[in-house]
Amino acid sequence: MNKLKKIGLTALAGSLVAGTVNAAEMSVTGSAGITFAGKDSSEVTGNGFTMGDSLTFSASGDVNDIGVTLSYELDGQGAATDTFDDHSITLDFGDAGTLIFAGHGGSSAMSARDDVMPTAKEEPWDVVTGADAGIINGASGENMFNYKFDHESGFMLQVGHLPSHTDMAESYTDFAIEYTGVDGLRLGMAMGESEATAGTEIEEDTFFATYAMGGLTVGLQMSEFDTSASTGDTESTGFGVSYQINDDLTVSYGSHEIEKTGSDDQESSAIGISYTMGSMSLSATMNKVDNVAHTSTSDLQAYEAGVTFSF
């Protein structure tokens, strides 16, 4: 083969490769923060300071008219080998919806709606040790699928699917429907059924509504947890109200109650505040929980305050 033929074939191969490559947009976002948590005097607290650090790298582009985004989070979590956190691939089909495959850190339809009440910082059942044990949250795990579809009328559908694995006896599927077609209104429900242990089925559902008018937002959420085991069924009710005093300052109050047959009700409440100054935000919450994990002798309270820088 002469040199002219070699040059021609090399140029043709280069043009074919170039024709299959699409320009990708690269971006990096991140945040850093310092948080101090104070526990109840009856608890062993240790060092209350923690550090938040996160960098999310993403690359996006069009492949055969499908929007493809790869997202990877770099998040130091203590151990030197425990560096990478949430990562996912998102396929955007335009009017046909979006499919997300999360290798880690994905939220199912239920887990994304465990508590959607308005708050300036944390949920009433958060911060206090052990108070989150009875919260409905469906199932989530590594390598799960989520499909989302938004209609111009204001309806949204999300379907989550987690294939069975070593910690899940049967595959898990849940769904959520929301309506936001009226200004300030958010109505929704979510349902899921799981079987982590063979023969023990768990059904969870939640219904919620929030309404925002000016700087005021109020919300109500009711949830159920039903299990085929002899005990463990619960019903919970959450309420929240937040008020944005100005563009920077927001305050909130929330309450949450979990009823369990034959046990004392767990009752939680929280007051939160947040203040934003450009890319820096200050926030704090004071939480109180009676009958933690339905134990009558366990009434605890805790607070958390921190500063976060976004870039």
- pLDDT for res 164: 86
Pairing of strands 98-104, 216-227: unpaired
Architecture of the structural domain at 25-310: Beta Barrel (2.40)
Burial of residue 198 (CB within 10 Å: 0-12, 13-18, 19+) is exposed
pLDDT digits (tens, 9 = 90+) for 74-127: 987 655 556 788 999 999 999 999 999 999 999 999 999 999 999 999 999 999
- Percentage of the chain exceeding pLDDT 70: 90
**What does the alpha-carbon distance between residue 95 and residue 152 come to, in Å, rounded to a whole number?**
10
**∠ Cα 287 291 297 (to 5°):** 120
> Confidence class of residue 228 from pLDDT cuts 50, 70 and 90?
confident
Cα 103 to Cα 291: distance, rounded to the nearest angstrom = 37
Contacts of 230 (CB under 8 A, 6+ apart): none
Structure confidence at residue 9 as a pLDDT band (50, 70, 90):
very low
Confidence at residue 22, expressed as pLDDT on a 0 to 100 scale = 61
Q: Strand, coil or helix: what is 17?
A: helix
| 0.85 surpassed by pTM | yes
Residue type, 64: N
Q: What is the pLDDT of residue 5?
A: 40
Domain ranges in the chain are: 25-310
Cβ-Cβ contacts under 8 Å for 61 (sequence gap 6 or more): 22, 23, 24, 25, 67, 68
pLDDT tens for 40-86 read 877 767 889 999 989 999 999 999 999 999 999 998 765 555 678 89
The per-residue pLDDT for 81 is 53
CB 58 within 8 A of CB 66: no
How far is C-alpha 19 from the chain's CA centre?
39
Q: State the Cα torsion 131-134-138-140 to the nearest 10°.
A: 40
Mean pLDDT for the stretch of residues 32-40: 92
What 3-state DSSP class applies to 196? Answer: strand
